[in-house]
Chains A and B, each alone.
Chain A
Amino acid sequence: MADAFLELSGVCKGYGKGDARSEVLADIDLSVARGELVAVVGYSGAGKTTLVSLMAGLSTPDRGTITLAGKPVKGPGGERGVVFQNYSLLPWLTAFENVYLAVDQRFGDWPKEKKREHATRHLALVNLAAARDKRPSELSGGMRQRVALARALAVDPEVLLMDEPLSALDALTRATLQDEIARIWEQSKKTVVLITNDVDEALLLADRIIPLSVGPAATFGPAVAVPIPRPRDRKTMNHDARFKAVRNQVIEYLLGPGRRRGAADRAAAPVALANASDSDTVVAA
């Protein structure tokens, strides 16, 4: 990738000290071009959330560097928007207020009317104009995640980091929101890193899919490009040879080398095998 925009090189992260220390991520290299949508697909518990919090600046890598447009990432910043797995809306604020809080902080010097209009427009972008005065507890899971998406987009970030944004939703809502994310991405052409455990979701949305091996010490497998023109039709996914080819490559890595990787590195076969068998269902789903 010639014009790397978001770049991670040699990133390692672990928790604990001494014997209790466990490596979560090892030797992560990633280079995302401006405007690209990259999906990271991996096992549950492999360290996907750790990866997002590193890129978001919520935690710092033990080794390696993370740069955005050439500048090192030192903490959270308005140029990176984050959509969390469990929505993380503030329950005492309405949908509008949740979005407005972000807008108000990011564009503090705008006149109030402009900020309100900006927040309203982003709620409309995710088709939630009618629910603006509802609190999160009155919204369905899908609607909550739309609010979270609107909040992340409203600060006009250069990079959008999404941590399994749809994994808590039912299959139908999930499909609808996938289509919306595809639409919004087409419109905004933001740089997006989408973390997911769903290979098909990655196939539908991503320019490139990067498999993450099983933990501990999870690392990236070879990236697989998705050379399928948009808009992509989910109905053809099960027959189209191009979809099948990409899916097979990703799954072969995840079930093959990606599953054994940790075991090979640290000669702790029983633990790694136990992890892998726990995770089988995830990939099959």
Chain B
Amino acid sequence: MTTKAKFRFDASAIFLPGIGVLLLLLLWAITSSTLSKNLPSPAKTWEVSKPFVTAPFEKRGELDQGVARFAWYSLILVAKGYAIALLLGAPLGFILGWSKLFSKSFDPIIQVLRPVSPLAWLPLGLVLFEKSHPAALFTIAICAMWPTVLNTALGVRSIPQDYLNVARVLQLSPAKTFFKVLLPAALPYMFTGFRLSLGIAWLVIVAVEMLTGTPGIGGFLWQEYNSLIYEHIILCILTIGIVGFVLDRMMSAVEHRLKAA
């Protein structure tokens, strides 16, 4: 009984997504052969992309590298920008969650800055830093930090009064109160913020690379569009999607472990 149920679950877990992929490929093939002649067919896309996928770390030239290599450049840039976002966002969120005064003073500003697009921040970054690399980091950091700020603040506000009472009754030092009580209590919320921030950082990277011409998966995409190799646009979209998906899974695995603890 249970083995059968389990078997059915496993089969559908592979089978049903497979059907989804096949249907999409079919739709794509039909569209490329009827409605939009510019859109490369799945077979053509595979054929043209093959050297980039089968030798993903190959470097044949500055603009001719494997997709994994391009994705790696992008990941490094994202990692730097994301690190800045966390280093700024987590403390800011802590203060925001802790102090009502601070929260009342700065919450409106945050709510106004939060929806601003990366496309709008990048020119400001270029004005401020005059070079594309720091401007790219600035844009990633400032776009990605808001979920960390807001979720950290929420986490701090949600710390049960009981834990604070324990810290007071035991007369814990400020450092101990922070590391043994406040931080562990807020951490599950903070990780939700970290995960959402990483998703945004990865979204922003493409726009940033396009506008600055930095080598990476987004830069490659834009360059191949300009070179009229449309197959590679699709290759890049798929690569960006898969990398983003893997990043999100990894973060949510950590998040679940923290919540279970």
Q: A residues touching B (Cβ–Cβ < 8 Å)? A: 53, 56, 58, 75-78, 80-82, 84, 86, 88, 90-93, 101-102, 105-106, 135, 151, 155
Contact = CB atoms under 8 A, between A and B. Distances in A.
A15 to B, nearest CB: 14
Interface of B: 162-163, 165-166, 168-173, 176, 180-181, 184, 261
B184 A90 contact: yes
Nearest to B164: A58
Contacts of A102: 170
Nearest to A93: B180
The 10 closest A-B pairs by CB, nearest first: A88-B162, A92-B184, A82-B169, A76-B168, A76-B169, A102-B170, A88-B166, A105-B170, A105-B172, A58-B165
28 contacts: A53-B165, A56-B169, A58-B165, A76-B169, A76-B170, A78-B171, A81-B169, A82-B165, A82-B169, A84-B162, A86-B162, A90-B166, A90-B180, A90-B181, A90-B184, A91-B261, A92-B184, A92-B261, A93-B180, A101-B170, A101-B172, A102-B170, A105-B171, A105-B172, A105-B173, A105-B176, A106-B171, A135-B261
Contacts of B181: 90
Contact of B166 (A75, A84, A106, A135): A84
A280 B171 CA distance: 38
Contacts of B180: 90, 93, 101
Contacts of B184: 90, 92
B171 A76 contact: yes
A155 B170 contact: yes
A58 B59 CA distance: 65
Nearest to B188: A92
Contact of B169 (A58, A92, A135): A58
A92 B261 CA distance: 6
A63 to B, nearest CB: 23
B74 to A, nearest CB: 35
Contacts of A155: 170
A53 B161 CA distance: 12
A93 B168 CA distance: 17
Contacts of A91: 261
Contact of B171 (A77, A86, A92, A135): A77
A106 B171 CA distance: 8
Nearest to A101: B180
A86 B180 CA distance: 19
A77 B169 CA distance: 7
Nearest to A108: B173
Counting chain A CB atoms within 10 Å of each CB, the highest count among B169, B171, B173 belongs to: B169
Nearest to B168: A76
Given A101-B170, A105-B172, A155-B170, A84 B261 contact: no
A81 B145 CA distance: 42
A105 B173 CA distance: 8
Nearest to B165: A58
B144 to A, nearest CB: 27
A76 B177 CA distance: 14
A90 B170 contact: no
Nearest to A161: B169
Given A76-B168, A105-B170, 12 more contacts: A58-B165, A58-B169, A75-B168, A76-B169, A76-B171, A88-B166, A90-B163, A90-B184, A92-B184, A102-B170, A105-B171, A135-B261
A106 B170 CA distance: 8
A223 B119 CA distance: 74
A75 B171 CA distance: 10
Contacts of B172: 101, 105
A84 B261 CA distance: 22
Nearest to A85: B162
A90 B159 CA distance: 11
Counting chain B CB atoms within 10 Å of each CB, the highest count among A58, A80, A81 belongs to: A58
A123 B244 CA distance: 47
Nearest to B177: A105
Contacts of B168: 58, 75-76
A161 B169 CA distance: 11
Counting chain A CB atoms within 10 Å of each CB, the highest count among B170, B180, B261 belongs to: B170
